[in-house]
Every structure is written in C-alpha cells, then in structure tokens.
Structure 1
Amino acid sequence: MTTTTEKPRYTAVAIALHWLMAVMLVGMVFMGWRMEDMREMALSGDLSFAEVQAYYNWHKTIGISLLVLALARLGWRLTHKVPPLPEGMKPWEVIAARGTHIAFYAVMIAVPVLGWLTASATNFPSYLANNPALELPHLPVPNEAYEPLGSIHGAGGWVIFALLALHVGAALKHHFINRDDVLTRMIPFLKPRV
C-alpha cells in the first residue's frame, strides 16, 4: 500500500478571496487614478459632472465591497489554519513575510475606510452605484478634512503596489530560486514539486 502525503495548501475559500481581492485592488487603484483625470476634465468642461459622479459612485460601490471582503477574509484567516512557512527560511524572511501579510490586511481595511471618510467630508451624494436606496451613512467628518483624507486615501494605492511588488517578488523567489512549494499553495492549477 502506497500513501501520498499531500502538500499543505490554502483552502479554496482563501484562494478565491486572495485572487478576487488582488484583481479588485489593482483595478481600484487604476480606477482611482482615472477618477482624478475625469475630475480635471469635468472642471475644464470636457466631461459632465454627472459622468464623473457616476464613476465615483462605482468606485465607492467596489470600495465598500472590498471592505466587506477584507473583513470576511480576515475572519476566515483568523479561524482557519494556514500552511506553515517553508523550513530553512531566515529569521528576517519570516518577519518580512508575516509583516507583509499584516500590512496587506491593514491596507485592505484602511484604504476603503479612508475612502468612506473622504466621501463623508464632501457634499456629494454618497449612494452606491447610483441607487439612492443604498445610500451610505455619512461619517462625522468636517468638510475641511476632504483634501488631507483624499490625499492619504490616494497614497494607499502606492502602498498597495509596493506591498504587491514585495509579495509577488517573494513568491517568485520561493518558486524559482528556493524551488519550494510556496507558490503552489495559492495557485490552484500549479502542482507541488515532488
């Protein structure tokens, strides 16, 4: 009788949330940059404010969806065991891996909350995807906080890309240099090495 030992992998839910949120986060950063261009176009008269507001409302809708998904993902992560880090990792690599993951969770929650705070500091409608029945409550934020909160919210995009570069770089290092199975634990079709 032969037995095969399965390499530890993330759960299907963890994998689905990981990839869904990765695509949504990157898309939201580009959407945010496009919004800045659209606002300038509206101020110069090349685009209607209604079109800009509709785009902003989609950004808010997806942002709140990301916040809900991030909280669900954090809840899943806290209640389900993750595969252990590979043996032989240097202490600084373990700290960097854990720190990057913690930073990702912080950013995935903080950036949408900052967006909500920014939206609360304006007089524009804050409803989701042009549906007034789903209006978000305004948080108690003074209008003067709009610019600084918006700047911090926008800087979150650069933090996301910096963390993404670290995360992807480390995953590729594990796969191609260390030749371990870190990458196979999160990519469903990638088979573990024998």
Structure 2
Amino acid sequence: MGETMSTTGHPRYTAVAIALHWLMAALLVGMIFMGWQMEDMREMALAGEMSFAEVQAYYNWHKTIGISLLVLALVRLGWRLTHKVPPLPATMKPWEAIAARATHIAFYAVMIGMPLVGWLTASATNFPSYIANNPALELPHLPVPNEAYEPLGSIHSAGAWVIFALLALHVGAALKHHFVNRDDVLTRMIPFLKFRV
C-alpha cells in the first residue's frame, strides 16, 4: 500500500514518498541556483579572477548532484508506479484533475530529462569530466559531437525556467486547496500541517 492515514483519518502519502518529494524539491531548486553560480564562475575564470580547477570542481559537484537527482527521480517514479497514492478530492473539477495529473507528469519528465540533458551537454565538451582529488562523481562522456554543446546547453538552461513555472503552478494549486478549497491536499504531503475544515 502506498497511502497511509493521518491521525484524523485523512489519506496521506507514505513516509518514503514524502521524503523523496521534499528532498528532490530542495535539490532541484538548489541545482538551479548552483547552475547560475557556475555561469558567474566561468566568467570570473575567463577574467582571471579564479582558477579553472576551482570552476571545474564546482562543475563536477553539479554533475554529481545532477546524477543523484536522476537516480532519485527514477526511484520516486518506481515508488509511484508501485504504490497507491491518495485519491484526488471529489470536489475537484475535471479540468483541475487533468491539470494536476499533467503537472505531475511534467515534473517527472523534467526531473529525468534535465540531468540527462546536462550529461549530454557535459559530454559535448572537450573539458575533463573529473579532476584529481575532487571527490565528485566521474561521469563517462556519452558519444555527443562538440557541435551539440551550445544547443544542449541552451535546452538545459531553459529547463530551469520550466522547473520554476511548474513549481509556481504546483505551490499555487496546493495553497489554493488549503486556504480556498479547505481540503486535505496539502496536508497529505506535510505531515505536521493540520487539516482545515
């Protein structure tokens, strides 16, 4: 069984699903800001304000966390497919239910697609994927031509804005459910939050 019951008798996601949800949310947002910092660091390296080794070490950590996110996304997808989730509130309109499902599908596509595109982007460069004494993960280069670096990098960067758009929809809908609809949607994913009546 994938859903559990709260002390008030309302359905709730399992502890594993809740942990994966919040861990991945934090990592996704953190990775976006890390990516933006990487762009600044690259400019600083070109200006001679920091060494290439420092920038590459930061890039390696970005890759390591990105692959960790990919693994977590696949684990989360596997958990979702093999465990029952709480049903949507009966009061939801059909279009709201479709939008909710579409948003969740889009999240899974981005959580899996972004790390893969990042890996392809890194593979399209001639830069080393690993630096000695850096404990980050060493990734093998995939067979991607160097000419693909710019378009792949643009897609990877644009993905950050897709994630922010999905987050805005997701958070906005969750808050609407809690404060306007006064149903149990938000309390399913936040264990300590009280159900509003």
Specify the TM-score bucket, using the shorter chain as the normaliser: over 0.9
Alignment match, 1:156 = 159
Within the candidate set 37, 41, 60, 2:40 is matched to: 37
Aligned positions of 1:81-160 closer than 5 A: 81-127=84-130, 130-131=134-135, 134-160=137-163
**How far apart in 1 are the matches of 2:36 and 2:61?**
14
Give, in whole Å, the separation in 2 of the partners of 1:189 and 1:127: 42
Which ranges in structure 1 are unaligned for 5 or more consecutive residues? Answer: none
**Among 18, 26, 29, the residue aligned to 1:26:** 29
Q: Cα RMSD (Å) of the superposition?
A: 1.6
What is the TM-score normalised by the length of structure 1?
A: 0.94
2:56 maps to: 53
Q: Deviations over 1:102-128 (max 9, x none)?
A: 000000000000000001001122239
TM-score, normalised via structure 2 length: 0.92
SS of the equivalent of 1:192 reads coil
* Cα deviation digits, residues 35-68 of structure 1 (max 9, x gap): 0111011111111111100110010010000000
- Letter of the aligned partner of 1:130 in structure 2? N
SS of 2:126's equivalent in the other structure is coil
Number of aligned positions between the proteins: 190
Residue number in structure 1 paired with 2:169: 166
Structure 2 runs not aligned, ≥5 long: 1-6
Distance 1:103 1:38 in 2: 30
Matching residue's letter, 2:85: V
